[in-house]
Every structure is written in structure tokens, then in C-alpha cells.
Amino acid sequence: MEFVIEPQQQASVAVANHAARWPVRRIFCVGRNYAAHAREMGRDPDREPPFFFTKPADAVVDDGQTIPYPPETENLHYEAEMIVAIGKGGRDIAESDALDHVWGYGVGNDLTRRDLQFAARELGRPWDWGKAFDNSAVIAPLHPVSEVGHPKTGAIRLTVNQDVRQEADLAELIWSVPEIIAILSRSMALKPGDLIMTGTPAGVGPLVPGDVCTATVEGLGSCTVTIGPRA
């Protein structure tokens, strides 16, 4: 195919123990999927239907990178999350079939310009400026289901300069992975390459230039990002 301008490279993330990489299509994120985090965000964690927001595929950052402190914020936050990698597409996927669509799992950091997110929230505006900025999705190397199965329990934790800031268990997810896939695929077709960030536990907080932030999920490895000077 010919294009009138040079197309950008396919955005991708690493796969553990493989040279080949994962081509990222879209990044779906689940909002408020741990009760204690919903409360710290000033919301009731009642089991209302989950809601979603997205990040662009090319917001991804590999483990071990340094990123500039992002522009137009005074309150950059970390959010440790388990990531689901969709290997087989579909729409209106039944909960009972949902795990067949999962290729693998990982751990990520849903970096958030909290001040811009809250300003948008108060005004009923979209969250993109708070959530979908450059370098906002730090993603550890993915692990295939053939190696790690389908994790339903396991510690999820995050450290800043080696101090523990978030510590919870995947068992505390309000909406499970099969439920998330079923609900998401009712609204739009999932396709291979889509990633789902499943939500963060309580303990979110700020990052400043110089911080080294590591998110870990038991059995799925970790991703570390260093916050550099302002862009």
C-alpha cells in the first residue's frame, strides 16, 4: 500500500523471554476496579457497571526507560495494574468463552495527570488529557497464558524509590477479567493486539522528577520507570 506521508512504526511492547514483540492495537483501561481505590477517589465502590477509558497505542513505554515529567501537570500519579493481552478478537464474547481470547498477561503503570483528570471530571469532560498523554502507559514484558495461566490471585504492588505505596491482591478486583472482556466486547469488537489495563488498587500518589517507580504483579514480573526532568 502507498501512503501520502511516511506511516509511523507499529507501536509494540516486549514479550518476556522472546525477541519478538507484541503489536499494540488499542489500550483499554478500567476505571475504579478496586473498592479501596474507588473510595480514595471520592467515589462509592458499589458494583455499578464498569466504565472504560483509552490510551493511544503509541503511549507505551518499555520497562527500564526514563521518561520526561509530562507537561501541563503539577500532580503526576502512578497506578499499578495487571494487563490483559487480547490474542483473539471477537464481539459480544460470553463470559464463559472470554479467557479463550486472552493471549497473555503483564503488569503496567497507568500514569495519570491527576490534576487534569479531576478538572475534567468536575466539568463532565473527557479524561483524555489526564490519561492519554505521551508515555502514559508503562508496560512490562508480557507473559503468554501457556507459561503463566490465568492469574486470579497474587500480590500487586508498587514502589517509589523502594518505598511500598500500593499493595493489594488481584483477588480484590471488583470486575474479573472474563467479566471485563464480556462487557467491553458488547460495546465494540475486540481485536488481536488490544491491551486491557484492569484498574489500580488503593494508594495512588505523586511522582516527581528523579523518582524510580516499579509496579509488580506476583508471577508476571515488573516494570520500572524513572521520571526525568520536565519535558
- For the bound state, the minimum distance from the C-beta of residue 151 to Mn ion, rounded and expressed in Å, comes to 18
Q: Which is nearer to Mn ion, 204 or 227 (CB)?
A: 204
Q: Which three cell numbers stand for residue 145?
A: 497464558
Q: Which is nearer to Mn ion, 73 or 200 (CB)?
A: 200
- Count CB-CB contacts under 10 A for residue 161: 11
Q: What's the CA gap between 177 and 82, in Å, rounded?
A: 10
Cβ neighbours for 76, distance < 8 A, ≥ 6 positions apart: 69, 70, 111, 112, 113, 114, 206, 207, 208, 227
Ranked by CB distance to Mn ion, the top (closest) residue is 110
Q: What letter represents residue 172's amino acid?
A: E
The residues that touch Mn ion, with contacts defined as CB under 5 A, are 79, 110, 200
Q: What's the CA gap between 84 and 61, in Å, rounded?
A: 16
Q: Which is nearer to Mn ion, 176 or 200 (CB)?
A: 200
Integer Rg of the chain from CA: 17
Q: Which is nearer to Mn ion, 117 or 185 (CB)?
A: 117
Tell me the HSE value of 197 on the side-chain side, using a 13 A CA sphere.
Answer: 33
Q: Which is nearer to Mn ion, 11 or 215 (CB)?
A: 215
- For the bound state, the minimum distance from the C-beta of residue 29 to Mn ion, rounded and expressed in Å, comes to 5
- For the bound state, the minimum distance from the C-beta of residue 205 to Mn ion, rounded and expressed in Å, comes to 13
Residue written as grid cell 488490544: 194
Q: Which is nearer to Mn ion, 51 or 147 (CB)?
A: 51
Find out whether 78 and 204 touch, Cβ atoms under 8 Å: yes
- For the bound state, the minimum distance from the C-beta of residue 19 to Mn ion, rounded and expressed in Å, comes to 30
- For the bound state, the minimum distance from the C-beta of residue 104 to Mn ion, rounded and expressed in Å, comes to 19
Nearest to 14 by CA among 107, 120, 115: 107
- For the bound state, the minimum distance from the C-beta of residue 127 to Mn ion, rounded and expressed in Å, comes to 10
